[in-house]
Amino acid sequence: MFKKVLIANRGEIAIRVIRACRELGIKTVSVFSDADRDSLHVFLADEAYNIGPAPSKESYLNIPNIIDVCKKAGVDAVHPGYGFLSENTNFARACKENGITFIGPTPENIESMGDKLSAKALMKKAGVPTVPGSDGSVDTVEDARTVVKKIGLPVIVKASAGGGGKGMRVVRKEEELESAFRACQSEGQNYFADKTVYIEKFVTDPKHIEIQVFGDTHGNAVHLFERECSVQRRHQKLIEEAPSPSLTEEIRMKMGEAAVRAAKQIKYVGAGTIEFIFDNSTKDFYFMEMNTRLQVEHPITELTTGVDLVKEQIFVALGKPLSFRQTDLKQKGHAIEVRICAEDPETYKPSPGLIRACRHPQGPFVRVDSYAYPGYEVPIYYDPMIAKVITWGETRQEAVDRMQRALAEFILSGIKSNILLHRSILRHPTFLEGNYTTQFLEKNFEVIEPEIFKEVDDHVFLIAAAITAYNDRKSKDVRQLNVASKWKNMGRKIQLRM
């Protein structure tokens, strides 16, 4: 077993990894930037080291500084979390060269899936359904026109080094092709130093359904079923659920088997996710990308399978075989996750600042992975997600009901958040029917209608307003005293009897 692990990340995922390590008796080392001195992951680790100034490039993406701390602290392994260096081949290699175990896939796994074109070729070889399109890269506009003639419009042009929506353009008319082609080439060149692009038939209005896979160093690979992540805006996921309300047992099995073939094809090690687009009308699914990391939404898989994915990552990194066979894995019940972001629900703009009142939901079948606390200053430098609320139910409806109850309890003031947006989405008929797609949010929630504030329980707001007023009275800053006006801003007509 590892004696000491460094978590090369921050926020809720750093705390999540610290918790798994603590349960296994592993000492933990946190790293923090100048902006994160007071961040929760610093307090919860056994040791904490500063790795540089606030900007990610100078701290959480600074490989030499992180390797230095690994040596200084004498750690056995590093967990990269998600984002930052979690899919950085150079970091995985740097760990290996310094005798530090990288808790994740091999550098070769990361490299082969980072290039979307080579990933697609490997998937085809593994018998994973891929979208019809160009046979390899498209290097000239003329070649692009030839491909479009063959497969027909609409098409999507993609930068091979892109991913997660970067370096992509949908083309619905012939005359848009050249500019889209050149835009993807230059984005590929500017952001990823690789202008290679390819073209695919555009599957209109798809669902985003992904399969959790796990491989070990003994050639085993399994899947842990699907997660539906179609509630997203500009490729930022907001709500995820498992299982997907749109999959039949048969499709679930086919998708899972395809994902396991993909993992075995590349001798995948660790936790990974195969992303598919799913055409809910034809019931066809196609490989989109493979994420060679643990994902934000991993808790809904943990709650419906009973597997601790972070502990399993640690066991596999130690060279142990997988703790389960495919036949041991079952999906039970339904889980939903909402991402709570410090952002203005109307403009989706980040809303950093001082958290005044913060009371997380609790109670039966509610999990909260959060780094928010009263008095914490949410920094402007990083992703605005500050918490995830996850609920489990015997049925999807029960999971939704529990989530609505949990969000009604969530008290968060001093910063703006998207809590009310989530409550509105979870009440929307299209979401409740389950046949929503990746276009759902942008079609239905561009602006916040005032009526969504109507049904939220008054007493919760009164308690919250009273707590905020009490805290404000205690704090020096008198500006915030008029709490009623703040809650009015939230569209609430509350007459406070102070």
The amino acid that residue 219 corresponds to is: G
User: What whole-number distance in Å separates Cα of residue 354 and Cα of residue 374?
Assistant: 8
Residue 285 interacting with ligand MV4 (CB under 6 A):
no
370 closest CA partner among 420, 417, 329, 307: 417
The residue (of 51 and 238) whose beta carbon lies closer to ligand MV4 is 238
Q: How far is the CB of 285 from ligand MV4 (least distance, A)?
A: 11
User: What whole-number distance in Å separates Cα of residue 392 and Cα of residue 335?
Assistant: 4
The answer to whether the beta carbons of residues 244 and 207 sit under 8 Å apart is yes
Q: Among all residues, which ones are annotated catalytic? A: 293
Count of CA atoms in the C-beta half-sphere (13 A) of 102:
31
Q: How far is the CB of 132 from ligand MV4 (least distance, A)?
A: 9
The residue (of 104 and 206) whose beta carbon lies closer to ligand MV4 is 206
Kindly tell me which residue out of 127, 152, 165, 319 binds ligand MV4, with binding defined by CB under 6 A. 165
The answer to whether the beta carbons of residues 246 and 229 sit under 8 Å apart is no
The residue (of 2 and 287) whose beta carbon lies closer to ligand MV4 is 287
Kindly tell me which residue out of 12, 87, 228, 289 binds ligand MV4, with binding defined by CB under 6 A. 289
Residue 131 interacting with ligand MV4 (CB under 6 A):
yes
Which positions from 403 to 442 touch ligand MV4 by CB under 6 A, shown as an x/- string?
A: -----------------------------------x----
User: Which residues share a beta bridge with 278?
Assistant: 207, 285
User: What whole-number distance in Å separates Cα of residue 316 and Cα of residue 302?
Assistant: 17
CA-based max dimension of the chain? 72
Residue 91 interacting with ligand MV4 (CB under 6 A):
no
User: What whole-number distance in Å separates Cα of residue 335 and Cα of residue 241?
Assistant: 6
Residue 231 interacting with ligand MV4 (CB under 6 A):
no
User: For the chain, give me the number of helices (H) and strands (E)?
Assistant: 17, 20
- Piece of 88-96, 118-126, 200-208, 256-264 that binds ligand MV4 (CB under 6 A): 200-208
The residue (of 8 and 203) whose beta carbon lies closer to ligand MV4 is 203
Q: How far is the CB of 27 from ligand MV4 (least distance, A)?
A: 37
Residue 202 interacting with ligand MV4 (CB under 6 A):
yes
The answer to whether the beta carbons of residues 355 and 475 sit under 8 Å apart is no
Stated as kind and residue range, the H or E segment containing 167 is: strand 166-171
Residue 200 interacting with ligand MV4 (CB under 6 A):
yes
The residue (of 277 and 340) whose beta carbon lies closer to ligand MV4 is 277
Q: How far is the CB of 114 from ligand MV4 (least distance, A)?
A: 13
# residues near ligand MV4 by CB under 6 A: 17
Interaction with ligand MV4 in 305-364: which residues (CB under 6 A)?
none
Interaction with ligand MV4 in 436-455: which residues (CB under 6 A)?
438
The residue (of 238 and 357) whose beta carbon lies closer to ligand MV4 is 238
Residue 241 interacting with ligand MV4 (CB under 6 A):
no
Q: How far is the CB of 200 from ligand MV4 (least distance, A)?
A: 4
Residue 203 interacting with ligand MV4 (CB under 6 A):
yes
The residue (of 172 and 218) whose beta carbon lies closer to ligand MV4 is 172
Residue 156 interacting with ligand MV4 (CB under 6 A):
yes
Residue 64 interacting with ligand MV4 (CB under 6 A):
no
Residue 123 interacting with ligand MV4 (CB under 6 A):
no
User: What whole-number distance in Å separates Cα of residue 218 and Cα of residue 320?
Assistant: 8
The residue (of 128 and 288) whose beta carbon lies closer to ligand MV4 is 288
The answer to whether the beta carbons of residues 2 and 76 sit under 8 Å apart is yes
14 closest CA partner among 78, 63, 74: 78
CA distances from 452 to 298, 391, 396, 490 (A): 29, 22, 22, 10
Can you give the three-state secondary structure of 32-71, one letter per residue? EEHHHCCCHHHHHCCEEEEEECCCHHHCCCCHHHHHHHHH
Residue 303 interacting with ligand MV4 (CB under 6 A):
no
Q: Which SS3 state, helix, strand or coil, does residue 336 take?
A: strand
71 closest CA partner among 6, 2, 3: 6
The residue (of 3 and 235) whose beta carbon lies closer to ligand MV4 is 235
Q: How far is the CB of 87 from ligand MV4 (least distance, A)?
A: 14
The amino acid that residue 192 corresponds to is: F
Q: Which SS3 state, helix, strand or coil, does residue 388 take?
A: strand
Other beta carbons within 10 Å of 330: 10
Residue 187 interacting with ligand MV4 (CB under 6 A):
no
- Piece of 140-148, 194-202, 336-344, 380-388 that binds ligand MV4 (CB under 6 A): 194-202
Residue 188 interacting with ligand MV4 (CB under 6 A):
no
State the Cα angle at 32 between 28 and 34, rounded to 5°: 155
Count of CA atoms in the C-beta half-sphere (13 A) of 210:
27
Residue 288 interacting with ligand MV4 (CB under 6 A):
yes
Residue 206 interacting with ligand MV4 (CB under 6 A):
yes
Which spans of this chain sit near ligand MV4 (rule: CB under 6 A)?
A: 131, 156, 164-165, 200-203, 206, 208, 232, 235, 275, 277, 288-289, 438
